[in-house]
């Protein structure tokens, strides 16, 4: 028993020390590099899957070319467990100087835990052409700078459309147009002897909920009122029942890959994020995907008020940004802020567009660079889709977002698998939101 008292005393000393001293960890390479503002500086940047995600190294190299006395050292993290590893590192004081805000859901956790430096001055410098900047603002101050802004589009296979004799999207589709097209495609392809289906919906909750939240007027995730989801789920379930898209249960149990489904022409349409463009092009080049004509169109709209090439279609997507670790050596803050400004600048945007990433900085030069990418569809509708959109965030910034999204994830799996009716699932979710999340 004496031993446990000793342990308790020891702990009472160790734990608060450990918990309170999250700063000044400094075990990384940066601690030996405290140079003057004009001397050589090395910054460490967190990135993931470096082998297959070239954007971090691209930004680091481009920045170094423009600022030869600042080197950016990219540290590798795991793509799917990035936030778990980063959380552990920040808690232990061994996180890099600059780290990526992978999605808005975790941004607020880092921000409310004081793990992000105030970068409002960089935000002011960067200006209005950067979309997603407002999403990183909390209490009037900005805590991260976006370098990339993904949006969700409608991908369509031109060859399959003509095989089924269905008119391709013209940029003015509402959801009803989309559903009709999916059904017509499915029957048309069947008649032509092609086993492909009209459309494909991936398993993520965002495929249904992201657009529902962004497009429905007055929809508010944080209110705990989820009735805006109903029409979107009804539509999805109908398409599934009519066989126009693969059953959710089949997709999850067979671990279907959305890239494989669209890329090997098993589906004529797919609503997916803008990152898929680069992947599809790469796969067509190396043979993992078939060679066929495809394009991108705006996602189907809630109603005709935002549909058409004369209007601005509404879609959703979270920005990806960079934030500065407050434990950074004071003498390097200026250099770090330079890097943040760079990634949101036109030069940074052009570098990203060159590798098929959708930059946050919207400009004609960036658009031109993007469409110069070999294999990119160059029709006018695709260019319109890329350059004109009102992208709303998937995750509104609030401490309740993570909890609410977990509840909605459960709703998604129970509705799409048919385990619960839409009304029951929404009622359950609203009850849980009220009792488990919103009252905290």
Partner 1 sequence: MAATTPPARLRLSSPTGQRGRLRGWRKALLYVVLIVAAAGVLLPFYWMVMSSLKTNNEVFTIPIKWVPDVFVWQNYVDIWTKADMGTWLKNTMLLSVAVTALQVLTGSFAAYGFSKVRFPGRDVLFLTYVGTIAVPWQSYMIPQFILMAKVHLSNTLWSIIALQAFGAFGVFLMKQFYESVPEELSEAARIDGLSEYGIYRRIILPLSVPALASLSLLTFTNTWNDYLGPLIYLRSPHLWTIQLGLRSFINQYNAEYALIMTGSALSVLPIALIFVLGQKYFVEGIATSGLKG
Partner 2 sequence: MATTFETRRPGSRLRLRNTLMGWSFILPNFVGFALLTLVPVVALFYLAFTSWNVFGAAKWIGTANFTRMVGDASFWTAFRNTVYYTVFHIPLTLVVSLALAVLLNQKMRGVAFFRTAAFFPYITSIVAIAVVWNMLFSPDYGPINQFLRAVGVSDPPGWTTSGTWAMPAVIIVGTWREMGYYMLLFLAGLQSIPGELYEAARVDGANAWQRFRNITIPSLRPTTFFITVMLTIGSFKVFDLILVMTNGGPGQSTLVLSQYIYQKGFLENQFGYASSISIVLFAVCIAITVFQFLMNKRRDA
Contact residues toward partner 2 (CB under 8 A) are 3-4, 7-8, 10-11, 14-16, 19-20, 22, 83-84, 87, 90-91, 109-110, 112-115, 247-250, 252-255, 402-403, 406, 410-411, 413-414, 417-420, 425, 428, 431-432, 435-436
| Residue number, 85 or 367, with CB nearest to partner 2 | 85
| Residue number, 128 or 255, with CB nearest to partner 2 | 255
The tokens of 372 are what?
């110069």
Ramachandran sector of residue 39 (left: φ over 0; alpha: ψ -120 to 50; beta: rest)? beta
Indicate which of partner 2, partner 1, none lies near residue 7 (CB less than 5 to 8 Å, by partner kind).
partner 2
Question: How far is Cα 419 from Cα 46, in angstroms, rounded to an integer?
Answer: 40
| Residue number, 246 or 404, with CB nearest to partner 1 | 246
In 3-state terms, what secondary structure has residue 186?
Answer: helix
Minimum distance from CB of 353 to partner 1 (Å)? 18
Minimum distance from CB of 179 to partner 1 (Å)? 23
Minimum distance from CB of 376 to partner 1 (Å)? 18
Indicate which of partner 1, partner 2, none lies near residue 289 (CB less than 5 to 8 Å, by partner kind).
partner 1
Which residues contribute to the site for partner 1 (CB under 8 A)?
1, 14-15, 18-19, 25, 27, 48-49, 51-53, 75-81, 84-85, 87-88, 91-94, 246, 250, 254-257, 259-260, 263-264, 273, 275-276, 279, 283, 288-289
Contact 248, 203 (CB under 8 A): yes
Closest to 158 in 3D by CA, of 295, 290, 300, 299: 295
Indicate which of partner 1, partner 2, none lies near residue 114 (CB less than 5 to 8 Å, by partner kind).
partner 2
Minimum distance from CB of 209 to partner 2 (Å)? 15
| Residue number, 209 or 279, with CB nearest to partner 1 | 279
The tokens of 171 are what?
């940029």
Indicate which of partner 2, partner 1, none lies near residue 279 (CB less than 5 to 8 Å, by partner kind).
partner 1
Contacts 24+ apart (CB under 8 A), 70-73: 70/40, 70/41, 70/42, 70/43, 70/335, 70/338, 70/339, 71/40, 71/41, 71/42, 71/43, 72/42, 72/43, 72/44, 72/45, 72/98, 72/339, 73/29, 73/42, 73/43, 73/44, 73/45
Indicate which of partner 2, partner 1, none lies near residue 356 (CB less than 5 to 8 Å, by partner kind).
none
Indicate which of partner 2, partner 1, none lies near residue 115 (CB less than 5 to 8 Å, by partner kind).
partner 2
Closest to 234 in 3D by CA, of 208, 259, 211, 213: 208
Minimum distance from CB of 271 to partner 1 (Å)? 15
The tokens of 304 are what?
């005709």
Counts of helices then strands in the chain (DSSP H, E): 18, 13
Indicate which of partner 1, partner 2, none lies near residue 419 (CB less than 5 to 8 Å, by partner kind).
partner 2
Sign of the alpha-carbon dihedral angle for 252, 256, 257, 263: negative
| Residue number, 45 or 327, with CB nearest to partner 2 | 327
Ramachandran sector of residue 418 (left: φ over 0; alpha: ψ -120 to 50; beta: rest)? left
Minimum distance from CB of 311 to partner 1 (Å)? 29
Indicate which of partner 1, partner 2, none lies near residue 288 (CB less than 5 to 8 Å, by partner kind).
partner 1
Question: How far is Cα 53 from Cα 439, in angstroms, rounded to an integer?
Answer: 40
| Residue number, 51 or 374, with CB nearest to partner 1 | 51
Indicate which of partner 1, partner 2, none lies near residue 24 (CB less than 5 to 8 Å, by partner kind).
none
User: CA-based angle 350:352:355, to the nearest 5?
Assistant: 110
Question: How far is Cα 192 from Cα 401, in angstroms, rounded to an integer?
Answer: 46
Minimum distance from CB of 277 to partner 1 (Å)? 11
Indicate which of partner 1, partner 2, none lies near residue 20 (CB less than 5 to 8 Å, by partner kind).
partner 2
Minimum distance from CB of 428 to partner 2 (Å)? 8
Contact 42, 33 (CB under 8 A): yes
Helices 401-416 and 206-215 sit at what angle, rounded to 10 degrees?
120
Minimum distance from CB of 256 to partner 1 (Å)? 6
Minimum distance from CB of 198 to partner 2 (Å)? 18
Residue ranges in 388-437 assigned as alpha helix (H):
401-416, 422-432
Indicate which of partner 2, partner 1, none lies near residue 420 (CB less than 5 to 8 Å, by partner kind).
partner 2
| Residue number, 204 or 384, with CB nearest to partner 1 | 204
Minimum distance from CB of 107 to partner 2 (Å)? 12
Contact 120, 319 (CB under 8 A): no
User: CA-based angle 127:119:50, to the nearest 5?
Assistant: 90
Contact 411, 428 (CB under 8 A): yes
| Residue number, 55 or 183, with CB nearest to partner 1 | 55
């Amino acid at each position: 028993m004496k031993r446990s008292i000793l342990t308790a005393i020891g702990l009472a000393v160790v734990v608060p020390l450990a918990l309170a001293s999250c700063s000044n960890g400094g075990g990384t390479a940066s601690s030996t590099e405290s140079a003057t503002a004009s001397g050589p500086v090395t910054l460490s940047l967190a990135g993931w899957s470096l082998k297959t995600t070239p954007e971090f190294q691209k930004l680091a190299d481009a920045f170094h070319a423009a600022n030869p006395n600042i080197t950016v050292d990219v540290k590798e993290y795991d793509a799917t467990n990035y936030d778990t590893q980063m959380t552990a590192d920040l808690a232990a004081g061994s996180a890099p100087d600059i780290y990526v805000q992978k999605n808005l859901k975790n941004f607020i956790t880092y921000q409310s835990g004081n793990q992000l430096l105030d970068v409002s001055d960089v935000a002011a410098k960067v200006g209005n052409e950067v979309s997603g900047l407002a999403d990183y603002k909390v209490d009037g101050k900005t805590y991260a700078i976006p370098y990339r802004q993904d949006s969700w589009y409608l991908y369509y296979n031109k060859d399959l459309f003509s095989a089924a004799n269905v008119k391709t999207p013209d940029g003015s589709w509402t959801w009803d147009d989309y559903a009709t097209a999916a059904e017509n495609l499915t029957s048309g392809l069947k008649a032509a002897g092609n086993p492909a289906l009209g459309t494909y919906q991936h398993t993520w909750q965002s495929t249904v909920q992201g657009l529902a939240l962004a497009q429905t007027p007055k929809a508010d995730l944080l209110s705990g009122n989820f009735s805006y989801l109903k029409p979107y789920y009804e539509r999805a379930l109908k398409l599934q029942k009519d066989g126009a898209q693969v059953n959710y249960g089949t997709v999850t149990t067979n671990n279907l890959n959305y890239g494989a489904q669209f890329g090997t022409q098993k589906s004529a349409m797919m609503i997916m994020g803008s990152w898929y463009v680069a992947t599809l092009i790469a796969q067509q080049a190396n043979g993992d995907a078939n060679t066929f004509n495809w394009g991108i169109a705006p996602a189907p709209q809630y109603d005709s008020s935002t549909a058409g090439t004369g209007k601005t279609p509404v879609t959703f997507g979270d920005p990806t940004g960079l934030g500065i670790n407050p434990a950074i050596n004071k003498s390097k803050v200026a250099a770090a802020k330079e890097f943040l400004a760079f990634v949101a600048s036109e030069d940074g945007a052009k570098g990203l567009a060159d590798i098929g990433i959708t930059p946050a900085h919207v400009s004609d030069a960036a658009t031109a660079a993007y469409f110069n990418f070999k294999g990119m569809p160059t029709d006018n509708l695709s260019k319109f889709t890329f350059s004109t959109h009102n992208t709303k965030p998937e995750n509104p910034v609030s401490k309740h977002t993570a909890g609410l999204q977990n509840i909605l994830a459960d709703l998604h799996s129970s509705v799409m698998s048919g385990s619960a009716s839409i009304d029951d699932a929404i009622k359950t979710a609203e009850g849980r939101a009220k009792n488990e999340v919103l009252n905290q």
